[in-house]
Amino acid sequence: MNMMKHFLDIHTTDAAELRHMIDTGLAMKRARGGRPKGAPDDDQPLKGHMVALIFEKPSTRTRVSFDVGVRQMGGETMVLSGKEMQLGHGETIADTARVLSRYVDLIMIRTFEEQTLLEMAEHATVPVINGLTNRTHPCQIMADVMTYEEHRGPIKDRKVVWSGDGNNVFASFAHAAGQFGFDLTFSGPETLNPEAACLDFAAAKGRPVTIERDPFKAMAGADLVVTDTWVSMHDPESAKERRHNQLRAYQVNEHLMSLAKPDSLFMHCLPAHRNDEVTSAVMDGPHSVIFDEAENRLHAQKAVMRWCLGR
Ligand code: CP
Ligand code: NVA
């Protein structure tokens, strides 16, 4: 029986299966028991499997964590840059998907338009994983949920506050609020509001996102404070100055963190622009779990890949 499944987004994946992936990722992390990164897992579910990692945008964490994760599970990878593929020179996404499916067992793609991901998934006969689009970043938020739970227990009913741009990473947080059942507050300027669709999803799942323009008020009772870059990879460079002016009031600094719960955590998907969206004092301070969060990309995605392959 073909058990293959795509991992395209948090809102399009069954909530119980998402929960299972988080628990599997944590169990796999524990089972490694801190062995060297290059050492194989005891379990080798990707043995004999080839994975294509396609990047149309830059990446450090996604690229390295997928590559290492596949190898730990016994598989092999090839990293492909969109520009160097025929995909960047006129070959259709559908044909690319059909061809790659003859060579590899799994495809991870980081791209611009969501439509590229969806077309890849529609025409591939192997699982496709979303490694970030202009609209969402589901693998990141799987790692974030895992990181919160590793430090503080169940995220259900916790208060998560996002301070900054209503971007792709926020959208996946809104999806996760609906699927994992936590309360999410968006604090940012109206001009940089999140897309309505992700807010509608959370609301339909009984977790309407609170919008609080005042960042100081937003922090009250926060269990987790999150921010991200003020200018994403798909945003035009020309928008930088205006975005900085609009978002300056939402910088996560020690004063803002002091308004959250005393045992609150701070997360950022990275890369961060130190002293823009977050100060170094917060990034390196007692609330920050940013490097555990980065590490957990590896463990969460290993669970996602297993799920995709039905293993
Ligand atoms: N957080 C994240 O996706 O990082 P990279 O852009 O380095 O992959
Ligand atoms: N919002 C950022 C996330 C980077 C991991 C971007 O899309 O550039």
Whether the per-residue pLDDT at 8 is higher than 90: the answer is yes
Angstrom distances, CA of residue 283 to CA of 271, 287, 288: 11, 8, 6
β-strand pairing of 76-81 with 50-55: parallel
Report yes or no: 276 and 3 within 8 Å, Cβ to Cβ. Answer: no
* Ligand approaching nearest to the C-alpha of 108: 1
CA-to-CA distance for 51 and 107, rounded, in angstroms? 6
Write down the mean pLDDT value for the chain. 97
In sequence order, the β-bridge partners of residue 183 are 159
Whether the per-residue pLDDT at 1 is higher than 60: the answer is no
Whether the per-residue pLDDT at 138 is higher than 60: the answer is yes
**The Cα angle at residue 295 between residues 76 and 237, in degrees rounded to 5:** 90
CA 148 to chain centre: 14
3-class SS of residue 89: helix
Q: Taking the model in full, what pTM does it have?
A: 0.98
Tens of pLDDT, residue by residue over 241-295, are: 999 999 999 999 999 999 999 999 999 999 999 999 999 999 999 999 999 999 9
150 lines ligand 2 (CB under 6 A): no
Report yes or no: 112 and 266 within 8 Å, Cβ to Cβ. Answer: no
Residue of 49, 110, 243, 268 marked active site: 110
CA-to-CA distance for 298 and 87, rounded, in angstroms? 27
Active site residue 248: no
Report yes or no: 143 and 29 within 8 Å, Cβ to Cβ. Answer: no
Active site residue 179: no
Angstrom distances, CA of residue 256 to CA of 90, 194, 259: 48, 21, 5
Active site residue 61: no
Active site residue 139: no
* Mean pLDDT of the region 102-118: 98
Residue of 49, 67, 105, 140 marked active site: 140
Per-residue pLDDT band for 89 (boundaries 50, 70, 90) equals: confident
CA 290–ligand 2 middle distance (angstroms):
15
Whether the per-residue pLDDT at 130 is higher than 80: the answer is yes
Per-residue pLDDT band for 82 (boundaries 50, 70, 90) equals: confident
In sequence order, the β-bridge partners of residue 224 are 160, 265
3-class SS of residue 261: coil
Report yes or no: 304 and 21 within 8 Å, Cβ to Cβ. Answer: yes
163 lines ligand 2 (CB under 6 A): no
CB count within 10 Å of CB 3 equals 10
In sequence order, the β-bridge partners of residue 109 are 54, 130
Whether the per-residue pLDDT at 84 is higher than 90: the answer is no
CA-to-CA distance for 110 and 132, rounded, in angstroms? 5
* pLDDT reported for residue 86: 87
Tens of pLDDT, residue by residue over 162-172, are: 999 999 999 99
